[in-house]
Each structure stands twice: as structure tokens, then as C-alpha cells.
Homo-oligomer: A and B are copies of this chain.
């Protein structure tokens, strides 16, 4: 049984839910789940509809054309995806393996709703793990000098491998605008701090210095400004005076894994919409 997910946003006028559900009903689809959100401040309406399309008579191209008409009528932005076109993700890593392992294991358990196309790294260390889980591993060293070239090469790789979105699983390089632009709201990073506190380098050291009683991890879409992209999810863990920076680092691994895996899953399931630098993450 094939399913589809439609995301849309438009000015809030009466009848959106009606017209969208009519569109689906008349073509033989059946709504399983519909979610809405209304931004009070500027009167904008967001909707995600997950529907069964096994009985729909039209082909995908026809549905997309008709949807474009509806979108024009209501001045909507729309995104439509089908469950038989599983998303493919690239994982970028450096030397830390905990998030990589976690993504591989969750993928095997069917928990992330997308497939791992390849792993790209600026270090060779994690080649063995990647290959053990059957993922191609491409070692692409990055220096100040070759950065532009390395990213162009990575971009080409992503195209070859049909990559839909990119996951920075504790990747220790800052991406340049070149890649960020090409994967706008499709690059997910995990920051090992509770953003917006503790931006930049060594957030666990910063947290220790400040004497916080909770440490956090934050998943977000990468934008041109470091650690300032739209936040997808956050997790925390309780700490106290007895914990050293090393302890915080170890305890943080658990929440980094969790917050990243949940962001990957939400993105893969088309549950995230970005608006005005904030995310709407439907459950």
C-alpha cells in the first residue's frame, strides 16, 4: 500500500482543510493523518496531510499538476512526497563514531525512514564501521587550501549517489555556503550544547565553566551562520558539580545520538517545515 505526504503553507483563509481533503478524496485518496498549525502573528496556515494513495487512479505526474493548480488558487507553497520514493541520506563524519553507529543501528531496525547512501569523512578512521554496515565510505581530506575543491567533489558525490539530505554526525568542519545553499534546510547538524547557549567550539568546556546543572544537545538545519540555523530538536541531561568535562562529554554522547536520530527521522518522514527561522515539527 502506497502512501503520500503533502505539506503546504499559505495565508489562512476559510476552507483550506476542506479544499485539500476534497482534492484527495476526489482522486481516490484517504487521509490517515492531517496536522495543522496557524502562526498567529502573520496569519499563516501550515498543514501536513499523510494519506493513503493506493486507490488513486491518476499517476504521480497528474497529481502533481493538479496540485499545482490548487496551489495557485490559494497562493500555497506545497511539497508532495510518496512513500515508494524513500529518501537517501549522506552522513558526514570525522572521528567520533557514536552518532554514526547509532544511525546505522537505527537504520537496521527500520527506525529512521530513509536509506543511507554513503558516508563521507575528512578522516579515514570510520571506514571500517561504514563498510561493516554496507555503506560506501569516501575519504575526502579537507584543508584550508582545498576546502572549495573538496566540497565541490562532495557535492558531485552527493549527486552521483542520489542524496536527498545530509547528516553531520559530529562532523568537525564548517561547511561553506556553497554546500549550504545547495542543500538549504536539508543539512542536519547536531551541536553538543544547548543552543543558543554555548555556540561554537568546545561547548562542554563552556558548560562546565559556567557551572550549569543541565547539559544539552541540539539538532538544527545548517545555515550560513554557525550554530544559528532553525532548531529541530533538543535534549538535556542533568549534571552536577561532581562531573568533569570528560564526564560531560561522555554523558553528552547519549543525548547527541538521540537528538540527531529524531531529527533525521522527522526529516525523512516529511514532518518538518521551516518558517521564519523556526521549525514546525509535526508529531
Q: Which residues of B contact A98 (CB under 8 A)?
A: 105, 109
| CB-CB nearest in chain B for A259 | B213
Of residues 256 to 280 in A, which have CB atoms within 8 Å of B's CB atoms? 258, 277-280
Q: Is A195 interfacial (CB-CB < 8 Å)? A: yes
Copies of this chain present: 4
Least CB distance from A237 to B in Å reads: 11
Bound complex: CA A34 to CA B18 (Å)? 11
Interface residues of A, CB < 8 Å — how many? 60
Per the bound structure, the CA–CA distance linking A36 and B29 in Å amounts to: 16
Check A213–B231 contact: CB distance below 8 A. yes
Is A174 positioned at the interface, with any CB of B under 8 Å from its CB? no
Say whether B197 contacts A213, CB under 8 Å: no
A209 to B4, CA, bound (A): 30
For A22, list chain B residues within 8 Å (CB).
Answer: 18, 21-22
A229 to chain B, nearest CB (A): 10
- In-complex Cβ contact of A34 among B34, B258, B278 (8 A): B34
CB of A212 within 8 A of chain B?
A: yes
A230 to B211, CA, bound (A): 7
Contact of A17 among B14, B34, B280 (CB under 8 A): B34
Contacting residues, chain B, for A32 (C-beta < 8 A): 36, 38
Q: Which residues of B lie under 8 Å from residue A194 when comparing CB positions? A: 194, 197, 214
User: Which of chain B's residues have a CB closer than 8 A to the CB of A15?
Assistant: 25, 30
Residues 90-113 of A at the B interface (beta carbon under 8 Å): 98, 101, 105, 109, 111
CA distance A15 to B17 in the complex (A): 12
A200-228, CB under 8 A of B: which get 1 and which 0? Answer: 00000000001111101000000000000
- Distance between Cα atoms of A17 and B24 in the complex (Å): 10
Does A35 belong to the interface (CB within 8 Å)? yes
B234 contacts A212, C-beta separation under 8 Å: yes
Indicate with 1 or 0, residue by residue over A220-257, a CB within 8 angstroms of chain B CB atoms.
Answer: 00000000001111111000111010000010011000
Q: With A101-B105, A197-B197, A241-B37 as known contacts, state yes or no: A24 contacts B31, CB within 8 Å.
A: no
Q: Are B197 and A241 in contact (CB-based, < 8 A)?
A: no
What are 23 A-B contacts defined by CB distance under 8 Å?
A14-B28, A17-B17, A17-B34, A18-B18, A18-B31, A21-B22, A34-B36, A37-B242, A40-B244, A98-B109, A101-B101, A109-B253, A194-B197, A196-B198, A211-B231, A211-B278, A213-B234, A213-B281, A214-B216, A214-B235, A214-B236, A242-B283, A283-B283
Which A-B residue pairs are the 3 nearest by beta carbons?
A211-B278, A197-B197, A18-B25
